[in-house]
């Protein structure tokens, strides 16, 4: 499709990957947070926890390729008052460690921070086996978990601090590629459970997270040229969802598009639909990966093939407005 | 009595011809990953002799024109990131044209970054999440027993990969059912993603662990084709227990001087930059 622009081809200024921002933030927070212990399963050079490890070797453990064990160890550390941060690829930590997340972390409600990097199809060439596309659904299904999906470098940095400040289990989802900046400031507002309105509008609301926020802003530019004013919410916290922001969006704009780099089932779209259906039913359209695995290819090529471009968002916006 | 290999399968005349094939696989691994601009050539290179002996030393019975032939032997690449060595072997064996190797990791190609059995004939398990291949092998070996078929199952794991607990769950179950139609080969290349396997998680003695789990074990120089062929023969003939071959190898075998020059003898998960390709191919002779 000519002229299809994914977030990775946006004209917005490019920032670092959210995994890089997390790695730097964790390293910086290590000194003021002696309770933080980082555990790795042989991927710290991918997740960027190696930067913390180099600075605080006494509080860093690499336990080998063993994600179930990784999660169990975190449960043990947390039960002794530590604040464990465990990171691996989103698919491995959530899928391989799921029963341990359920029993050793969620059930006792322990203060474990779970970080999944390389989420979504934008990892590109490595293909489906390395792509976490179900991680948000799985994390949301763990009672008591807070689930966070930051959109860019600055918000990933802020989210890392918020994750550590929160008492209780948190899942944070991060991406591999460098992504456009959504926020101009290095210190954007960031409160868990509180969406950021990154663009205001009255004709519809695009609710997005991760790299789809940048795509939503680009879509809003395209729509503005047609006289359609889109509000864009950076819904960085999927659980607990910001019900107030959704209610206002439904009442004031009357139509919603939800965009995420995730399967249709159980992600942001599902969570938003539940809230809107209860609070203020309005037409909703969804832009996501549907019900299929990813594959190998360039990140840009995949985002286009799987329908996650600004143009796809704009088309969904027109469709949802027509359904008002 | 074992069935004969179908005439469509390639079997090398002698060790020398096997060595020629091994060299071609190395060339294909390097070319395809450099063309892709990503991938795991060093993890693929350490396993070339094992894969060459399996596919072209008369061990695996397969029919490239009929990849789903029910009586075929199975090879599971549990360390799925070494897909380029599997694809090179499948191309050499005639499952698809050699030119297709250059589509590795490109959008629309069935030669995905990690093997996907749903899209490519000859791939016996979809892998890429480490630790899972041996269990699948146990399932296939049990199926052979139920169906009274004499096909054999070979599984290749990494030495870092055996840190996954599932490997040992699979090992225990294979011993329980005395699956002598199952062979596990551990590619002992001394590295995993973040460093030396001995340092990240020392699993030595690997042979001792498999022995303790009820397996027959053989340790060999896995970059010596003669030793690999002999070990596979012994594993195939051994009765009453599954066999584990601890295959001592070098990650990046074939281009080690270049990796030393580049200051990274693990070279995990990176393709050779195009400017080093000629130098690397020259090293292969
Ligand atoms: C379950 C799982 N965790 C982590 C990874 C990421 N990963 C890919 S390759 C690799 C290292 C593998 O080391 P080893 O098994 O020794 O294979 P080698 O590359 O050395 O042949 C890791 C950690 C993965 N693919 N699967
Ligand atoms: Mg290894």
- Considering the domain architecture, whether residues A203 and A277 belong to the same structural domain is answered as yes
Average pLDDT, stretch A49-64? 98
pLDDT tens for each residue of B182-225? 999 999 999 999 999 999 999 999 999 999 999 999 999 999 99
Q: How many CB pairs under 8 A join A and B?
A: 96
pLDDT-derived band of residue A1, with 50, 70 and 90 as boundaries?
Answer: very low
In the predicted model, is pLDDT for residue B2 greater than 70? no
My answer on whether A28 and A100 are in the same domain is yes
Do A136 and A68 have their domain in common? yes
Residue A187 lies in a domain: no
ipTM of this predicted structure: 0.97
Alpha helices (H) along chain A: 18-29, 44-47, 50-55, 67-79, 90-91, 98-100, 135-140, 153-165, 212-224, 243-253, 268-279, 299-305, 310-322
Structure confidence by residue, pLDDT tens digits, B172-187? 999 999 999 999 999 9
Q: Does a structural domain hold residue A213?
A: yes
> Which residues lie below 8 Å from residue B1, measured CB to CB, with a gap of 6+?
none
> Domain span at residue A99?
18-173
Decide if A185 is inside a domain: no
- Check A27, A32, A50, A67 and give the catalytic one: A67
**Is residue A180 domain-resident?**
no
Residues A71 and A138 in one domain: yes
- Cβ of B103 closer than 6 Å to ligand 1, yes or no, is no
Greatest C-alpha distance within chain A: 59
pLDDT at B10: 86
What's the predicted TM-score (pTM) here? Answer: 0.97
Q: What is the pLDDT of residue B9?
A: 83
Q: Please tell me the predicted confidence (pLDDT) of residue B229.
A: 97
Query: How high is the mean pLDDT of chain B?
Result: 97
3-state class (DSSP) for residue A15: coil
Domain CATH number, residue A78: 3.40.50.970
The overall average pLDDT reported for chain A is 98
Instruction: Answer yes or no: do A31 and A141 share one domain.
Output: yes
Q: How many Å lie between the alpha carbon of B107 and the closest alpha carbon of chain A?
A: 4
Claim to verify: residue A119 and residue A242 sit in the same structural domain: no
Is residue B1 very low, low, confident or very high in pLDDT (cuts 50, 70, 90)? very low
What's the Cα-to-Cα distance from B118 to each of A179, B35, B67, B93, B112, rounded to whole Å?
32, 24, 12, 19, 11
Q: Are residues A161 and A53 in the same domain?
A: yes
B165 vs A68: CB contact, 8 Å cut-off?
Answer: yes
pLDDT in tens, B96-148: 999 999 999 999 999 999 999 999 999 999 999 999 999 999 999 999 999 99
Average the pLDDT over B38-54 and give the result. Answer: 98
Do A127 and A238 have their domain in common? no
Which of A141, A173, A205 is the C-terminal boundary of a domain? A173
Q: Are residues A212 and A159 in the same domain?
A: no
Let me know if residue A1 belongs to a domain. Answer: no
Q: Does B192 contact ligand 1 (Cβ within 6 A)?
A: yes
**A168 and A279 fall within a common domain:** no
Q: Give the residue-averaged pLDDT of B269-279.
A: 98
Give chain A's domain count: 2
| CATH 3.40.30.10 given to domain B15-284 | no
Distance CA A228, CA A205 (A): 11
Q: Is residue A282 part of a domain?
A: yes
Q: Are residues A24 and A169 in the same domain?
A: yes
Task: Confirm whether A268 is domain-assigned.
Answer: yes
| B160 Cβ inside 6 Å of ligand 1 | yes
Provide the CATH number for the domain around residue A301: 3.40.50.920
- pLDDT 10s digits, A161-170: 999 999 999 9
Is A123 in the same domain as A261?
no
Q: Write out the two tokens for B95.
A: 């499952």
Distance A169 CA to ligand 1 centre (A): 27
Q: How far, in whole angstroms, is CA A183 from its chain's centroid?
A: 16
Residue A290 located in a structural domain? yes
Say what the pLDDT of residue B144 is: 98
Looking at residue B68, its pLDDT comes to 97
Query: Among B36, B127, B163, whose Cβ lies nearest the Cβ of A66?
Result: B163
Quickly state the pLDDT bin for B8 (edges 50, 70, 90): confident
Does A228 score more than 60 pLDDT? yes
């Amino acid at each position: 499709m000519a002229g299809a622009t994914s977030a990775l081809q946006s004209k917005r200024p490019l920032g670092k990957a959210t995994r890089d921002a997390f790695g730097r933030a964790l390293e910086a927070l290590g000194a003021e947070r002696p309770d933080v212990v980082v555990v790795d399963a042989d991927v710290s050079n991918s997740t960027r926890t190696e930067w913390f490890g180099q600075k605080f070797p006494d509080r860093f453990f690499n336990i080998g390729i063993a994600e179930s064990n990784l999660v169990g160890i975190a449960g043990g550390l947390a039960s002794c008052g530590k604040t464990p941060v465990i990171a691996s690829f989103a698919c491995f930590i959530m899928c391989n460690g799921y029963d341990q997340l359920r029993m050793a972390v969620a059930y006792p409600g322990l203060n474990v921070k779970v970080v999944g990097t390389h989420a979504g199809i934008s990892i590109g060439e490595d293909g489906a086996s390395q792509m976490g596309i179900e991680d948000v659904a799985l994390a949301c299904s763990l009672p008591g978990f807070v689930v966070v999906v930051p959109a860019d470098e600055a918000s990933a940095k802020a989210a890392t601090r918020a994750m550590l400040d929160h008492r209780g289990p948190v899942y944070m989802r991060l991406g591999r590629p460098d992504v456009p900046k959504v926020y101009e400031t290095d210190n954007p507002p960031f409160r868990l459970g509180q969406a950021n309105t990154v663009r205001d509008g009255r004709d519809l609301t695009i609710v997005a997270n991760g790299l789809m926020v940048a795509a939503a802003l680009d879509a809003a530019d395209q729509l503005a040229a047609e006289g359609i004013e889109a509000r864009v919410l950076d819904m960085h916290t999927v659980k607990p969802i910001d019900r107030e922001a959704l209610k206002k969006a439904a009442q004031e704009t009357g139509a919603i598009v939800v965009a995420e780099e995730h399967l249709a089932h159980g992600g942001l779209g599902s969570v938003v639909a539940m809230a809107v259906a209860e609070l203020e039913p309005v037409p909703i359209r969804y832009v996501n990966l549907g019900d299929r695995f990813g594959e190998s290819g360039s990140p840009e090529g995949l985002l286009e093939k799987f329908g996650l471009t600004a143009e796809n968002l704009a088309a969904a916006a027109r469709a949802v407005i027509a359904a008002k | 009595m074992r069935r004969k290999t179908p005439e469509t399968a390639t079997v090398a005349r002698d060790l020398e011809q096997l060595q020629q094939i091994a060299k071609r696989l190395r060339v294909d691994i390097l070319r395809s990953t450099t063309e892709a601009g990503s991938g795991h050539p060093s993890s693929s290179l350490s396993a070339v002799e094992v894969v060459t002996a399996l596919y072209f030393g008369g061990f695996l019975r397969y029919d490239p024109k009929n990849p789903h032939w029910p009586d075929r032997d199975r090879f599971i690449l549990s360390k799925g990131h070494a897909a380029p060595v599997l694809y090179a072997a499948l191309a050499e064996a005639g499952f698809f044209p050699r030119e297709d190797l250059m589509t590795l990791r490109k959008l629309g190609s069935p030669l995905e970054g990690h093997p996907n059995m749903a899209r490519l004939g000859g791939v016996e398990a979809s892998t890429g999440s480490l630790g899972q291949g041996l269990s699948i092998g146990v399932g296939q070996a049990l199926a052979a027993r139920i169906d009274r078929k004499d096909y054999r199952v070979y599984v290749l794991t990494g030495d870092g990969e055996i840190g996954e607990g599932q490997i040992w769950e699979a090992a225990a179950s294979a011993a329980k059912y005395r699956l002598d139609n199952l062979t596990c080969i551990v590619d002992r290349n001394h590295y995993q993603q973040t460093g030396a396997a001995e340092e990240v998680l020392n699993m030595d003695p690997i042979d001792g662990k498999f022995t303790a789990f009820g397996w027959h074990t053989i340790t060999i120089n896995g970059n010596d084709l003669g030793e690999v062929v002999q070990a596979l023969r012994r594993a195939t003939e051994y009765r009453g227990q599954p066999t584990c071959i601890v295959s001592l190898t070098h990650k990046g075998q074939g281009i080690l001087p270049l990796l030393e020059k580049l200051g990274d003898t693990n070279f995990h998960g990176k393709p050779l930059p195009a400017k080093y390709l000629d130098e690397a191919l020259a090293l292969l002779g």
